[in-house]
Amino acid sequence: MIYVRESHAEKMGTITDVPYEILNVLEFNSTRKRQSVVCRYADGRLVLYCKGADTVIYERLAAESDELKKITREHLEQFGSAGLRTLCLAYKDLHPETYESWNEKFIQAKSSLRDREKKLDEVAELIEKDLILIGATAIEDKLQEGVPTCIETLARAGIKIWVLTGDKMETAINIAYACNLINNDMKQFIISSETDAIREVEEKGDQVEIARFMKEEVKGELKRCLEEAQHSLCTVSGPKLTLVIDGKCLMYALDPSLRVMLLNLSLNCSSVVCCRVSPLQKAQVTSLVKKGARKITLSIGDGANDVSMIQAAHIGVGISGLEGMQAVMASDFAIAQFRFLTDLLLVHGRLSYLRICKDVSTALSKKYPELYKEGIRNMFFKWRVVWTWAFFSVYQSLIFYHFVTISGTSGKNLSGRMFGLWDVSTMAFTCVVITVNLRLLLMCNSITRWHYISVGGSILAWFVFILIYSLLRENVYFVIYVLMGTFYFYLTIILVPIVALLGDFIYQGVERWFFPYDYQIVQEMHRNDPEDNSRAGLLEIGNRLTPQEERSYAIAQLPRELSKHTGFAFDSPGYESFFAAQLGVHAPQKAWDVARRASMRGKPKPSKKH
């Protein structure tokens, strides 16, 4: 029994608590995309209330009151383009007898041991038809904090980003605008199943005909878009491309005959938005890119409907949170918020790639996401690098051997006595130990005290070892003491490591000067930065603007034209700063938003056809 506080206009605004009895709850699931409840009024009337996505509700409406349907549809479109997430509500009166007979089937289905889900769906279908439309609702569902910045940063790092969502096309496009995946400078390819032609065919009701027609349509659209894309790519400064495709068309586009075209088109686009996709389609799209394009794919999601996608990708990331832990349990990496993805990829991902030692600090890794491209382009593990190392190691070994043996052919001190095998080899080995440790230091670009300790400690450990060992073993007995009593020893220790390292040193100096890597330039740019050890910096969203951005922001301050797509509902600083200003709080500018608004400047765009 639930109580609803109602205020009736007829009763002059008095407030009463009306009891309703809930008889059945038909729960939500992703296939049905709706949920219903059967309730009994205080006066015995039985009503079924249904709430769900507009497509599924509209399919089940009774064939009357077209006026309301039309108006509601218009309203839905308005809500969608304003970026709100919409639902439709409908109801139906039930006769007690129909209800009773249905209820029996429902109870049977609910308690069945096998295929319960399917049986419940079937039973729900029986009653959820001939509904009467009430209207629509819309909510504003804000994106998580830091999502747009994160996406923009990753795009700069050379990572292509696709959005796969179950929302409507308008909503999905708005999300993409909010994340700066799409802006008005880009050329958009839209493949939608909501065109008038398709709707006509659908109204006829012939399933076979619908399928055939849709396939033809999708094929034609793909071809056209692909041609345009290729043509656009030939021109040097063509706009970036975006593809928007919805679930129904995707179903036909993933067909083996059309898949290749879809892949080619989407790889040419810098961002892809798929709307109204089912969980299975998400996994299919991911596999398409993984196997067809042979790129490394990463899927990130937070709900149970993302699990198949997470598992289909190379790397699956789950966001733990309000939706529960299914995504987390199915994933390879789990993070708490979407924005932590920048840290995961740009800092930890890059470090794992480099694996030697830190060359650019973590803060700089995130400030210059383009450095990530060095990993994507596999610049550090090419054969050239291997051969360079091999060459220098051969050079060093020649130095070690020849310098020590050639200089060992005569007596070594005033006593005129000669060195033997073990003296020469101990001399050479000491040079090797010193050279190798110093070479390590040369390789590191930021040297902490632990580096000094380990390098100095290694060399010291060698000396301690040999001083002790040469007292214990007969063949090397007293060798190091004899050596250390000659001038020759010290002259050689200075000469040989320096000559051995000279090759590497010259190579590094020349390479860094004439052919620098990007990360080396970034190091130089920030070589005088004081050590910023504040942890806050690592997880900050980064609201500071570079001079470039400040300039473009100032330009963007000129009255901006209103595009239909503003991403307003999702994460708009205008929205935020408006309320912030009301409260007297300073809301800082966001870099991605400045860029977005700058891209919108002075370009009146017609509204997109749905």
Partner 1 sequence: MYYGHGLQMNIAALCSFPLQLHRGSIRLEGVVVVEMEGKETHGRHGSVGGASTSSSSSSTTKKQSKRPKYSRFSQQELPACKFIVTPAVVITTFVAIAIVFIPLGLASLFASDNVVEIVHRYDDLCLQGSSNAVQHIQSKNSNKTCAGKLTVSKEMKGPIFIYYQLDNFYQNHRRYVKSRSDKQLKYKADADDTGSCSPEANTDEGPIVPCGLVAWSLFNDTYKFAVQNKAVDVSKKNIAWESDRNHKFGSDVYPQNFQSGGLIGGANLETSKPLSEQEDLIVWMRTAALPTFRKLYGRIEGDLGVNDNLEVVVENNYNTYSFGGKKWLVLSTTSWIGGKNEFIGIAYLTIGGLCLFLAISFILIYVLRPRQLGDPSYLSWNKQSQVQ
Residue ranges at the known binding site for ATP: 28, 51, 85, 165-167, 276, 282, 305-306
- Is residue 408 a contact point for partner 1 (CB under 8 A)? yes
Q: Across 206-270, where does the E strand assignment appear?
A: 241-246
Distance of closest approach, residue 216 Cβ to partner 1, in angstroms: 27
- Is residue 576 a contact point for partner 1 (CB under 8 A)? no
Which of 384, 449, 586, 609 touches partner 1 by CB under 8 A?
449
In 3D space, the residue among 53, 44, 146 whose CA is nearest the CA of residue 94 turns out to be 44
| Side chain identity, residue 168 | K
**Element spanning 191, H or E:** strand 187-191
Which of 523, 552, 566, 572 touches partner 1 by CB under 8 A?
523
- With beta carbons less than 8 A apart as the criterion, state whether 271 and 160 touch: yes
Q: Across 302-362, where does the E strand assignment appear?
A: 315-319, 333-335
Residue matched to tokens 């000491």: 430
Which of 381, 465, 505, 578 touches partner 1 by CB under 8 A?
505
Which of 438, 493, 499, 580 touches partner 1 by CB under 8 A?
499
Residue matched to tokens 């249904």: 50
- Is residue 525 a contact point for partner 1 (CB under 8 A)? yes
- With beta carbons less than 8 A apart as the criterion, state whether 72 and 58 touch: no
| Ramachandran bin of 38, using left for φ above 0, alpha for ψ from -120 to 50, beta for the remaining angles | beta
- Is residue 138 a contact point for partner 1 (CB under 8 A)? yes
Looking at beta carbons only, is 122 or 140 nearer to partner 1? Answer: 140
- Is residue 319 a contact point for partner 1 (CB under 8 A)? yes
Per-residue contact flags (x/-) with partner 1 for residues 77 to 116, judged by CB under 8 A = --x-----x-x-x-x-x-----------------------
Cα–Cα distance, 193 to 555 (Å, whole number)? 39
- Is residue 457 a contact point for partner 1 (CB under 8 A)? no
Cα–Cα distance, 399 to 405 (Å, whole number)? 10
- Is residue 139 a contact point for partner 1 (CB under 8 A)? yes
- Is residue 128 a contact point for partner 1 (CB under 8 A)? no
Subset of 40-69 contacting partner 1 (CB under 8 A):
51-53, 65
Task: Give the interface size with partner 1 as a residue count (CB under 8 A).
Answer: 144
Looking at beta carbons only, is 222 or 273 nearer to partner 1? Answer: 273
Cα–Cα distance, 284 to 259 (Å, whole number)? 11
- Is residue 477 a contact point for partner 1 (CB under 8 A)? yes
- Is residue 503 a contact point for partner 1 (CB under 8 A)? no
Name residues whose C-beta falls within 8 Å of residue 449's C-beta, 6 or more positions apart in sequence.
none
- Is residue 401 a contact point for partner 1 (CB under 8 A)? no
DSSP structure class, residue 51: E
In the chain the first and final C-alpha atoms are separated, in Å, by: 43
Q: Which stretch binds partner 1 (CB under 8 A): 115-123, 207-215, 226-234, 437-445?
A: 437-445
3-state SS class at 135: strand
- Is residue 16 a contact point for partner 1 (CB under 8 A)? no
Subset of 583-602 contacting partner 1 (CB under 8 A):
none
Which of 356, 398, 418, 555 touches partner 1 by CB under 8 A?
418
Positions at the binding site for Mg(2+): 302, 306
- Is residue 3 a contact point for partner 1 (CB under 8 A)? yes
Which of 120, 123, 175, 594 touches partner 1 by CB under 8 A?
175
Which of 44, 256, 416, 606 touches partner 1 by CB under 8 A?
416
- With beta carbons less than 8 A apart as the criterion, state whether 441 and 356 touch: no
- With beta carbons less than 8 A apart as the criterion, state whether 214 and 258 touch: no
- With beta carbons less than 8 A apart as the criterion, state whether 154 and 342 touch: yes
